[in-house]
Amino acid sequence: MRTINMLSSADKVKGQGVGSAYLEQVRLIEETLPGDFRVCRNKPKLCDIMHYHTIDLPFLLSVPMAKLHGCSTVGYVHFLPETVDTSLRLPWLAKQVFYAYMIHYYKSMDALVTVNPWFIHKLADYGIPKERVTYIPNFVSNETFYPRSAAEKNALRDQYGIDRDVFTVLAVGQWQVRKGFFDFIRTAERLPDVQFVWAGGFSFGVITDGYDEIRRVVKNPPPNVKFLGIVPREEMNDVYNLADVMFLPSFDELFPMTVLESMSCGVPILLRDLELYEDILFDYYLKGSSVDEFVSHLRRLRDDPAFYREAKEKSGEGAKFYSREHVAAMWKSFYNGLTVHRLRILKHS
């Protein structure tokens, strides 16, 4: 039986999707492919496959030794320089060093995995051959994220101080300019009779892009906006079930775990109209390009039961499309192909 060492520090930082994706992917392999692979997490040992989920320096330093001993090395691509540039506020020199390190890290791997096929072309622009990059979508367990009953939803709203009878719009993610934070606020100001809730926070503190401006809004929000702060993952199913709509006006994303989690809870989705969503979310969501369009969609979702029902059904179809079995089969094929590739290299070396 082949062994996989899953290496990540993402779950040490609360409130970021990379950590959620890591936990879901590891659990998926452990639970669906136990007869094919034996998985360990963050162990100081060499395995047949060394799967690096984050770009920590100690992980990079272990790559030459791993390759020397015949291990296959896999890197997960969760971000590129252009996505970090809109998330963190770093000095110019620090950015250049970090970006060069990031690309060097990716180039050092035998293979890369990305959750959005759009990134394959971006990586090619950095000199990484497309054949070394594989697209495998994110996955969410419907045992972890699922719809609650109407009575349970009412109780949850009482618990979180949200009016049972007010149409409620939820955003989930870090407080960042990139996440469309200010468009979320502008949309809320245009809809004073709708409750807006944001679950998330400053996962990276003062280096977050727009930290000072966002902090001022959080301290003095519009009357119909409620900030929950960073919510533990084990409580997030309850939070999704508070919402009538999940609204994420991000300017830049890969494959937001929050979208899959919301779909799994049966919540309609409203997102910014981004090219990178086209090949992964198809028509499972509503989209807009401006505050005016966001407001229009939300008003119709609130006032038109047929429109709301259709959006809810689309979201449910999205949850079914990214099934546990389908994604597990993709991982099995990928890992098996890695092992064969590494054996060929050793044979001819």
Rounded Cα distance between 65 and 251, Å, is 39
Average the pLDDT over each of 81-90, 119-128, 268-277 and give the range with the smallest value: 81-90
The dotted CATH code for 150-321 is 3.40.50.2000
Strands (E), the chain: 2-7, 37-41, 49-52, 72-77, 111-114, 133-135, 168-172, 195-199, 225-229, 245-248, 269-272, 286-288
pLDDT of 14-68, one tens digit each?
545 677 888 889 999 999 999 999 999 999 999 999 999 999 999 999 999 999 9
Mean pLDDT of 248-265: 91
Whole-model pTM over 0.85: no
pLDDT band at 220 (very low <50, low <70, confident <90, very high): very high
Q: Give residue for tokens 């594989």.
A: 134
Sketch the domain layout of the chain as residue ranges. 2-139+323-347, 150-321
Please determine whether the domains at 2-139+323-347 and 150-321 fall in the same fold group of CATH.
yes
Mean pLDDT of 239-245: 97
Give the Å distances, CA to CA, from 34 to 3, 30, 40, 238: 10, 6, 12, 30
pLDDT of 104-119, one tens digit each?
999 999 999 998 898 9
Of 205, 187, 148, which Cα lies nearest the Cα of 272?
A: 187
Beta pairing partners, 77: 114
Rounded Cα distance between 32 and 43, Å, is 21
| Class at the top of the CATH hierarchy for domain 2-139+323-347 | alpha beta
